[in-house]
Structure 1
Amino acid sequence: MARIAILDDYQNVSLSLANWDLLAGCTVQAFADHLTDLADLEARLSDFDVVVAMRERTPFTAALIERLPKLRLLVTTGSRNSAIDLAAASLRGVLVCGTGGLGYPTAELTWALIMAHMRRIPAEDRAIRCGRWQTTLGLGLKGKTIGIIGLGRKGTEVAGYARAFGMERLAWSPNLTDERAAAAGAMRVPLHDLLRDSDIVTIHLVLGPTTIGLIGSEELATMKPGALIVNTSRGPIISEEALVRALEAGQIGGAALDVFDDEPLSPDHPLCHAPNTVLTPHLGYVTEEGYRLFYRDAVEDIAAFLRGTPVRVLNPPPCAQAS
């Protein structure tokens, strides 16, 4: 039967959060470490028929897929993965399937990052462990303005939290309407006005050609001097180079980031040393509830594939790709 690899299981939890025994006769191996070198990935995965990838941690490029002749099924947790070359998978006869996912954990983490920055929680935590007491002045949220870039499911949840905290809510998305914004309890405004008027700017857009570098030097310069920018979406939406310059110059009040251009983030990266930052290691989707859903659906995907009735297929079959 099939040999199955589970990648990037940083917390060593994948085997305990789903019933892999349902895949009778299969061999399942989980890997907690993260590989980036193409040759290393080829050496590790060349004997596996099925690979379960955790979100976009390991890119499956055409070059990697071509080096895995035994690979028949690639399962990504979640329903979208921009790090998988779906066309290349189809050309090589590799089926790609997804899983369900939870949206609310990312919205909750967004609010945790906002609170951590506004009430200076990381700084005060460090201070109290060093014997110091009340070293900063925090900021409240009531009456302040939050600007939500991307008013989809997650952005709408964040708007709901903001309403509960008594905040004014502005929103911008490329195709947002006044009616859709009002239904979410926000006011649609141009992006420039959102950046200019918001005390907190939070990003909830999908990464794509039109959103890469959406927030650069000009956009950061438009923000209030004390404003906070939050990103729990995808790192490249903000120019990291421009953001570091703005932070070091005191041009904005701070940044709270869960996502980065290259992950895991190197401890030598300038963001790790920039002032007024709260950084988390892409934790938006990392909850026990979310992981149980990911791995349960991964088992279902593999079982269905082995039966010849695949589910949650993300790429076209080879014949459709060729046509």
Structure 2
Amino acid sequence: MTTLRCAVLDDYQGVARELADWGRLSGRVDVRFLDRHLTDHDALAAELADCEIVVVMRERTPFPAALLDRLPRLRLLITSGLRNASIDLAAAAAHGVTVCGTPSSSEPPAELTWALLLGLARGVVTENDSLREGGPWQSTLGADLHGSRLGLLGLGKIGTRVARVGAAFGMDVAAWSQNLTEERAAAAGVTLAASKEELLETSDFVSVHLVLGDRTRGLIGAGELRRMRRTAYLVNTSRAAIVDQDALVRALREGWIAGAGSDVFETEPLPLDHPLRTAPNFLGLPHLGYVTRRNYEGYFRGAVEDIEAYLSGAPVRTLG
């Protein structure tokens, strides 16, 4: 039996090997793990030239048609989660490449949303840095959650979880999206905002939980940011392109809003000279929303299951 070759991409933390039993593939698949991020198509094509199987982490490494064209040996492409907008599914099908997903949980990104929101509201990073560096003892004035309004753009699985926590904090929770109905909002225990504009104008905290698409790309631009209260905070753990990045930098520098937190960026890793790195009152994280042990175990164990199913001739969790 010919041994197939598999590459696991973007294993930043070097944990993929230990979080799943890759030994189940021994003798059938030779697996290697890459902890460095490759953005150049020439480098990627060279690295993956001998691979029949590739495992990708979320949307870290896109697989457009131009890259798939250069990987004639590729037969199975596995993505963590059950959706990946950075894979050209039509091109994959045209090349005879099966695309599969893995289990994924909505709890971790909802939890991280609150890490950002609380970090902003109580100046956690500023106060911690001051304490460690011997600076002033108390320099910020926290924003209250209890009694304030939490506005959610999107009320899917993650948005609904965030809403429940907001209610537990005693917040008035409202939501808006283009397809959200009063019935769906009521079922989640939140108020349906009359419009996106009304949500932005009346909320003390705004959190983004929408899927990126033609209707949501650039949904929050300069006009929308100006509608927000100067004391309000914006948090985005969804997709960076939903919020105009240039407008966000300007809003922070000119004080249109009190602060912003983001776990997502249009270019990742974020370039060293990106203006958000030095924007005032900005709390940024390196796309950690889904990065938890349990979620990663689901990803990599799911990848092993996908490979075994493919080898048996009955692939599971296929996309496209």
TM (normalized to structure 1)?
A: 0.97
Deviations 1:184-237 (A, max 9, x none): 111101111000000000000001111100000110011001110000000000
Deviation at 1:134, TM superposition (A): 1.3
Aligned equivalents of 1:112 and 1:267: distance in 2?
A: 24
* 1:16 alignment partner, SS class: coil
Which residue identity is paired with 2:150?
Answer: I
Aligned position for 2:213: 208
Match of 2:273 among 268, 286, 305: 268
In the alignment, the residues of structure 1 paired with residue 26 and residue 312 of structure 2 have an alpha-carbon distance, to the nearest angstrom, of 12
Within 2, Cα distance between the matches of 1:24 and 1:267?
41
1:236-289 deviations in Å (ceiling 9; x for gaps)? 000000111111100111110000111111121000111001000000000000
Which residue in the other structure is 1:321 paired with? none
Other-structure match for 1:143: 147
Task: Name the structure 1 match of 2:6.
Answer: 4
Q: 2 CA distance for matches of 1:94 and 1:202?
A: 37
Identity level (%): 54
Match of 2:253 in 1: 248
d(CA) in 2 for partners of 1:302, 1:209? 33
1:185-200 to 2 correspondences below 5 Å: 185-189=189-193, 190-200=195-205
Distance 2:161 2:176 in 1: 15
1:89 equivalent in alignment to 2:92: yes
Aligned to 1:22: 24
Separation of aligned partners in 2, 1:23 and 1:209 = 40
Q: Which residue of 1 aligns with 2:300?
A: 295
1:168 aligned partner, one-letter code: D
Match in the other structure for 2:224: 219
Distance 2:225 2:255 in 1: 11
Is 1:162 the equivalent of 2:166?
A: yes
**Deviation of 1:2 (Å):** 1.1
Moved over 4 A (4+): none
Of the structure 1 ranges 211-220 and 128-137, higher mean CA displacement relative to structure 2 is found in: 128-137
Show the counterpart of 1:70.
73
Give structure 1 stretches of 5+ with no counterpart. 316-323
Per-residue CA deviation, residues 134-188 of structure 1 (Å, 9 max, x unaligned), is: 1211122100000000001100000000000000011001111111101111110
SS of the residue 1:15 aligns to: coil
Q: 1:231 aligns with which of 232, 236, 239?
A: 236
Superimposed CA distance per residue, residues 60-94 of structure 1 (whole angstroms, 9 cap, x where no aligned partner): 01010010111000000000000000000011111
Q: Which runs of 5+ in 2 are unaligned?
A: none
Q: Which amino acid aligns with 2:22?
A: W
Secondary structure of residue in 1 paired with 2:61: coil
| SS of equivalent residue, structure 1 residue 193 | helix
Q: Matches of 1:98 and 1:302 in 2, distance apart? A: 11
Match of 1:319 in 2: none
What SS does structure 1 have at the residue aligned with 2:54?
Answer: strand
Residue 120 of structure 1 aligns to which amino acid in structure 2?
A: G
- Between the aligned partners of 1:224 and 1:119, the Cα distance in structure 2 is 18
Q: RMSD between aligned alpha carbons?
A: 0.7
The aligned length equals 315
Name the CA distance, whole Å, in 1 between partners of 2:32 and 2:242: 34
Distance in 2 (alpha carbons) for counterparts of 1:62 and 1:176: 34
5 Å matches for 1:117-132? 117-132=120-135
Which residue of structure 2 lines up, in the alignment, with residue 31 of structure 1?
34
Residue 24 (structure 1) shift: 2.5
1:134 corresponding residue in structure 2: 138
